[in-house]
Amino acid sequence: MTARIGVVTFPGSLDDRDTQRAIRLAGAEPVALWHKDKNLHQVDAVVLPGGFSYGDYLRAGAISRFSPVMETVIEQAKAGLPVLGICNGFQILTEAHLLPGGMLGNDHLHFICRDQKLRVENAETAWTADYESGQEIHIPLKNMDGRYVADQYTLDELEAEGRVAFRYVDFNPNGSLNDIAGITNEAGNVVGLMPHPEHAVEPLIGSGRTDGLPFFTSILKKLVKA
């Protein structure tokens, strides 16, 4: 039976179609989910895609966190449902307290768009198992509010527990503390990152690399194994 991975569309989502394509290329079935619908339609995992949900008013992701679909996502994520938040999706996950810390405006106060080098720090989550720990990859990055922040206790806890999933290498594009590009929850089923793996899944589109495809093959293998 084909794994079904839901992709939530919020008002202002930009990369939901790209994410659906990446899921399809990995061999799973993408399922479009609408932010006003609490029903996840029996999907096996959920992706919160990038964009500017609700125009990033108040704070990035702050309004989407209260969308009806998030009530179910939060409940099921706590019960073990795999959830990936990409860029704006990562911001929503921190606003929903499924991941600790928060996102602020880039330290240089400019939107940034570039091919970003990352190091995989945790290859044991539901979304990173097809990588190797220490592997360096290139993933497109585009954000205005991408600076990850947290208090020192939280940072120390993330580092000590191996919950930093990805770290910026050679260049910190937004001033994120500890060069953090992505993190995971304790269980490893919820992952958030600022760069966009869905833009690096086939050689002729996007960055011209396929470094992002293992995100989607990782979860597929996890679901098939389960």
In angstroms, what CA-CA distances link 50 with 46, 131, 198? 13, 22, 10
Instruction: Respond yes or no: is residue 87 known to be catalytic.
Output: yes
Query: Which of 35, 138, 196, 199 is labelled catalytic?
Result: 196
Which of the residues 35, 87, 95, 199 is marked catalytic? 87
Of 35, 95, 138, 198, catalytic = 198
Count of CB atoms within 10 A of residue 205's CB? 11
Q: Long-range contacts made by residues 36-41, C-beta under 8 angstroms, separation at least 24?
A: 36/67, 36/68, 36/69, 37/68, 37/69, 38/68, 38/69, 38/71, 38/72, 39/72, 40/6, 40/69, 40/72, 40/73, 40/76, 41/4, 41/6
Distances (CA, A) of 136 to 38, 106, 183, 200: 38, 23, 16, 14
Catalytic residues: 87, 196, 198
